[in-house]
Amino acid sequence: MKVVMIGAGYVGLVSGTCFAEFGAQVTCVDVDQAKIDALHDGRIPIYEPGLDDMVARNVREGRLHFSTGVAEAVPEADLIFIAVGTPTRRGDGHADLQYVYAAAKEIARHLAGYTVIVDKSTVPVGTARHVERIIREENPDADFDVASNPEFLREGAAISDFTHPDRIVIGVESERAETHLRSLYRPLSLIESPILATNLESAELIKYASNAFLATKISFINEMSGLCEKVGADVHAVAKGMGMDGRIGSKFLHAGPGYGGSCFPKDTLALTRIAQEHGVSVRVVEAAVEANGAQKARMVRKIVDAMGGSVAGKRIAVLGLTFKPETDDMRDAPALAILPPLMEKGAQIQAHDPQGADEAKSLLPDGIHYCDDPYAAADGADAVVLMTEWNAYRNLDLERLAKIMNGRAFIDLRNVYDTATLQHAGFNYACVGR
């Protein structure tokens, strides 16, 4: 099968590379010249574990290609995936669909022969039909179907999520489109990944509903963490006890500084806007969004309290800046909401992140001192804040830390350590919900 992937970002590059791995001929197209140049030079523009080897192998074996233009690859393609960004539209919280529509228009001009155009981007209900209208207007003679195939991969685990998905959702309206998609995903049906075929609207909504449900689960346990702190319960035990109930499940019940990333924040917000537009209330999702903002604000208070009620003139070592480990993605990272108020209160920040520092520099206020390793960040610090649970922070040399620090506060926003160990090492330990 010949596949064109429009957008070579976190989703497009991973999906395109995995389809090539399945044996398809894939061209990843991106308007970002620097990204495509990097890929042609054998450099991967994002940090995603395992992706470099897989890209290199598929390029070497002639199945994976990169381009800045669609003109060459589109006429040959059996399937064209749109995997461009759908960020929050400035001002109103709706998903910004300008990149999806621009891609559709661009594709339309070059279509030749029957082609399935598939939305892989996370898009509001009705987008696939609008893409269909755009293509029809641009090229009335084109022979095509539209489909929706939302993506459920997580950054940092993208390749294994893509190659071992819990399910593949395809929204289709013609047998021909369904056959094309099933045949592309055949290597996964061989390992018994279920394929759920629905109509376009259901597929589009499944994606938002799934992300909103997971975000709600996190907000739920984060609110419980606040209650645990007041009543002397341990949120780990509470989550474990809840998770043992098969109807609840143990995943996504890890309390922390609030969810971040390129998707949960924007997708929960977009879902509330979709519902408003249709006059439907989604109060649970609205509450999850609000609770997430409150959790981040609560983390600022927790840090200030742990440092004796004031951070003015104090030095804080921040370990981890990205929204989760194993990615360089800083989009909506909790650090972006937690560090600026601490700086406004007079704190000096010394930060370390294994992959995200470059991106962080463009998003966080000036004045942060970026360090090459966690101990350099902790040097002379009054407190350590563990913001993101990178493996590099899971086994810190506590003795060394105590020696180089000025103070003894250790605020663990990811509950990586246990209280007894940190107290034994001489730290004043604060964590979330324990």
Residue 213 binds to ligand UGA (criterion: CB under 6 A): no
CA distances from 420 to 58, 196, 315, 377 (A): 49, 48, 25, 24
398-404's contacts with Cβ under 8 Å and 24+ in sequence apart are 398/422, 398/425, 398/427, 399/425, 400/375, 401/375, 401/425, 402/426, 402/427, 404/375, 404/378, 404/379, 404/380
Q: Candidates 1-9, 22-30, 250-258, 398-406 — which segment interacts with ligand UGA by CB under 6 A?
A: 250-258
- Are 187 and 196 in contact by the 8 Å Cβ rule? The answer is no
Partner from ligand NAD, ligand UGA, none contacting 84, C-beta within 5 to 8 A by type: ligand NAD
The closest alpha carbon to 44, from 255, 236, 328, belongs to 328
Question: d(Cα 160, Cα 66) in Å, to the nearest integer?
Answer: 23
| 214: contact with ligand UGA by CB under 6 A | yes
Interface with ligand UGA (CB under 6 A), residue from 12, 256, 354, 356: 256
Residue 263 catalytic?
Answer: yes
Q: Which of 18, 28, 228, 263 is catalytic?
A: 263
- Considering only CA atoms, which of 144, 195, 141 is closest in space to residue 173? 144
Least distance to ligand NAD from the beta carbon of 342, Å?
Answer: 28
> Per rule CB under 6 A, is residue 431 in the interface with ligand UGA?
no
C-alpha 353: how far from its chain's center? 17
Dist CA 342 CA 120 (whole Å): 38
What span, in angstroms and rounded, lies between the C-alpha atoms of 56 and 40?
Answer: 10
Which of 38, 87, 106, 152 binds ligand UGA (CB under 6 A)? It is 152
Tell me which residues in 51-80 interact with ligand UGA (CB under 6 A). Answer: none
Smallest gap from Cβ 290 to ligand UGA, in A, equals: 16
Three-state DSSP at 169 gives strand
Euclidean distance between CA atoms 291 and 296, whole angstroms: 9
Nearer to ligand UGA, 369 or 394 (CB): 394
Residues that bind ligand NAD (CB under 6 A): 6-12, 29-32, 35, 83-86, 99, 102-103, 106, 121-122, 151, 153, 155, 262-263
- Residue 27 contact, options ligand NAD, ligand UGA, none, Cβ 5-8 Å cut-off depending on partner type: none
Q: Which of ligand UGA, ligand NAD, none interacts with 12 (beta carbon under 5 to 8 A by kind)?
A: ligand NAD
The reply to whether 220 sits near ligand UGA by the rule CB under 6 A is no
Q: Which residues are catalytic?
A: 263
Residues of this chain that interact with ligand UGA (CB under 6 A) are 122, 151-155, 211, 214, 218, 252-254, 256, 259-264, 323-324
